[in-house]
Amino acid sequence: MTGLILKDIRKSYGQVKILHGINLEIAEGEFIVFVGPSGCGKSTLLRMIAGLEDITSGEMIIDGQVVNDVPPSKRGIAMVFQSYALYPHMTVYDNMAFGMRIAGESKEEIDRRVRSAAGILQLEPYLDRLPKALSGGQRQRVAIGRAICRDPKVFLFDEPLSNLDAALRVATRIEIAKLNDTMPDTTMIYVTHDQVEAMTLADRIVVLSAGKIEQVGPPLELYDHPANLFVAKFIGSPAMNIMPATIETAGASTVLKLLDGSTVSIDIATPAADAGKKASFGVRPEDLSIATGDTHLFEGVVALVEALGEVTMLYVEGPVEEEPIVVKLQGTVPVRKGEKLRFASDPAKLHLFDAQGQAYAKI
């Protein structure tokens, strides 16, 4: 069983602390995605798993073995980088075979693995070409194929699609998803800042912020039940709208007092002691609608309308001074810039956070 266990992993550069005690268990065959803002430590953690960065403290266990002091070549790991790192003077075949030749594999075994990887990634027609004759997406598939040929226990991907244009990102993302299906026993760890990649590829997402894990779980669990304000605003695109409120009545059914003095009842339990305390409620843009009755969450002036055909995006000023509220409506909606509108939501779709930014549990 090729699992991976991180026990209180810490990383410092002198007095600068990068990772602050990472604890995580990854099962054999899982596809794990690390996400977080720039500088949160996700690429550093990936490089530590690969053995390219030393561990300041803690234990890293791969396949039951502590690997803190095991060199990268002995860890059974293959890494695919943001840059393709292909040898420009070698053919696709030779690029994919290079690592095995260095390792002393037989010609027969090299040929078998290269052609097998080429078949998985649909690279057979390109084996005799040089990298310069390939598109960006094809080059990235060659880099992935080179990793497959090493027959690794664990695959590491460090933002492998960030250098590709939008269309190639979609095509290559599909290839990586197919690769995961083809190699169900191989553990894959993927670093990205792209929401779509994380939500569509991951079995579980690890959300990192400032060197700490904020939440771990399946994509839809993080989307539907964010543990705190950071995760709520980071997972989902456009981001969740956050607005201030006061807990007027606490208990099994909480009543919130909103900015305009109106109230709304939500099915989120709050301790009796929290009555009268400040809070924040969140609602996703796609969970808002134009209010047709007196019940509403807020009102504001439409500052911008983006009619995209499939959806209409409204940017509404009023409820929060710092930034507009984003409303995502299905289809084409006849709304004009400058209109003053009221907006509502199903109370079950609301999220509630305490003054420290931690989520109250939904009933």
Integer Cα distance of 110 and 161 in angstroms: 27
Residues 150 and 182 sit within 8 Å (Cβ to Cβ): no
pTM score: 0.89
Helices (H), the chain: 42-50, 92-102, 107-120, 136-149, 166-182, 195-201, 219-224, 229-234
State the pLDDT at residue 363: 62
SS (H, E, C) 170-211: HHHHHHHHHHHHHCCCCEEEEECCCHHHHHHHCCEEEEEECC
pLDDT score, position 285: 96
Residue 56 is which amino acid?
A: T
Contact (Cβ atoms closer than 8 angstroms) between residue 280 and residue 244: yes
DSSP code string of 49-93:
HHTSS--SEEEEEETTEE-TTS-GGGTTEEEE-SS----TTS-HH
| Domains of the chain in sequence order | 4-233 (3.40.50.300), 238-353 (2.40.50.140)
Which pLDDT score is estimated for 184? 83
pLDDT for 258 equals: 84
DSSP secondary structure string for all residues of 89-113: TS-HHHHHHHHHHHTT--HHHHHHH
What's the pLDDT at 57? 95
Three-class SS of residue 21? strand
d(CA 52, CA 256): 50
10-residue stretch averages of pLDDT, the chain, 363 residues long: 86 93 94 93 93 94 91 87 85 92 89 90 91 88 87 87 79 83 88 89 95 96 95 93 92 85 86 92 95 85 94 89 90 93 90 94 74
* pLDDT score, position 3: 84
Q: State how far the Cα of 3 lies from the Cα of 30, in Å rounded to an integer.
A: 9
Report the candidate in 152, 125, 154, 153 with the shortest Cα–Cα distance to residue 141: 125
